[in-house]
Structure 1
Amino acid sequence: MNQYEDVLVALRRIIRATDLHSKQLSKTTGLTAPQLMILQTLRNFDELTVGEVARKVNLSQATVTTIIDRLERRNYVKRERSQKDKRKVYVYLTDEAHESLIDAPKPLQESFINQFQDLHDWEQSMILAALERVAHMMDAQHIDASPVLDVGPLDRNISNKTDNAKNSGDQ
């Protein structure tokens, strides 16, 4: 096997592990990895705006807004306008979300993080440089991504916006 084939196999294994974990997460909690990450972030802070959540989870504000919209429809979060500054809207967890987080499985990346942090600094830098290079070679540097492993269509925000536009035009 050529070395590039070995690289592709390793990438497929990473994607497959992420996919299996995401399916298990969805099966046990009914949540996607980004949804869970946002809920966990909200749990860790008293009050955050959508923009602050987006910065903390390293996703675009548009992506986080779409996810929060879905979580709000499922009664996991609520939005409240600030009494001090009417321009700000904060996002809070509901009791239902707090209950869901109690039994939520640990993220797949937690095991990775523990093992990664056990490596020497030079090993960590080597892995990071290699993965950044692979992302660039795949022309993926422009793709919105968070530090949480998740799978799904890369253009799901675009297709959601298209679907929303179609649905709003039907009304």
Structure 2
Amino acid sequence: MTENILIALRRVIRAIDQHSRNLVQSHGLTGPQALLLTEIVRNGSLTGSELAKRVSLSQATVTDVVKRLEARKLLERKRDSVDKRKVLLRATEQGEILVKQSVPLLQEKFQSRLSELKDWEQNQLLSSLQRIAEMMNAEDLDAAPMLTSGAITASPEAIEEAVTPHNEDQTAKP
């Protein structure tokens, strides 16, 4: 039984890693970058603090990811025409095109399938996953509601690392 639980956990981890690599390869974005850009496109424009609240990430993390998206010319900062103290984040045309090409977010597909379960099944899964996090001493770790591997604020080097196959992934079986 213990071995089967470990195998199931490893499959989940590998599925998230594989999806993260595929997202970088297909769209050149990390999961967090895709999440923020998608949220900005959905809303037209947002302040950094509004964006941080909507995606459940810290302001500092959002600022770092925004800088990377801005450097890639996928979003821009503009002063609010009504309240000049506010700086709004808006997707560039290139950013909007990328999102409209259906940037696949793993958590969206997962949430859709999860919502199809009955309430008692969702509660059972939540309870089990919370217990697993506790057993791994991870219950106090800060985590955003996204399924992605690697650092939230991935550098270009980290992105390259994510798309480079590892020996473990080539030889390990789920």
- TM-score normalised to structure 1 length: 0.82
Equivalent position SS for 1:31 = coil
What is the aligned counterpart of 1:90 among 84, 88, 91? 88
What is the aligned counterpart of 1:44 among 37, 42, 61? 42
The question of whether the paired residues in 2 share the 8 Å contact of 1:29 and 1:104 is answered with no
Equivalent position SS for 2:8 = helix
Give the 4+ runs in structure 1 shifted more than 6 A: none
What is the aligned counterpart of 1:22 among 20, 23, 31? 20
Deviation at 1:46, TM superposition (A): 2.7
Deviation at 1:54, TM superposition (A): 0.9
Deviation at 1:145, TM superposition (A): 2.2
The question of whether the paired residues in 2 share the 8 Å contact of 1:75 and 1:94 is answered with yes
Unaligned runs of 5+ in 2: 156-174
Equivalent position SS for 2:77 = strand
Structure of greater relative contact order (alpha carbons < 8 Å, 6+ residues apart):
2
Percent identity over paired residues: 41
Q: 1:132 maps to what in 2? A: 130
How many residues of Structure 1 are paired with residues of Structure 2 in the alignment?
Answer: 155
Deviation at 1:94, TM superposition (A): 0.3
RMSD across aligned C-alpha pairs, in angstroms?
1.9
Q: 1:77 maps to what in 2? A: 75
Q: Distance in 2 between the 1:151 and 1:44 partners?
A: 24
Q: 1:56 maps to what in 2? A: 54
Unaligned runs of 5+ in 1: 161-171
1:20–1:90 Cα change, 3 Å: same
The question of whether the paired residues in 2 share the 8 Å contact of 1:26 and 1:32 is answered with yes
Q: Distance in 1 between the 2:110 and 2:33 partners?
A: 20
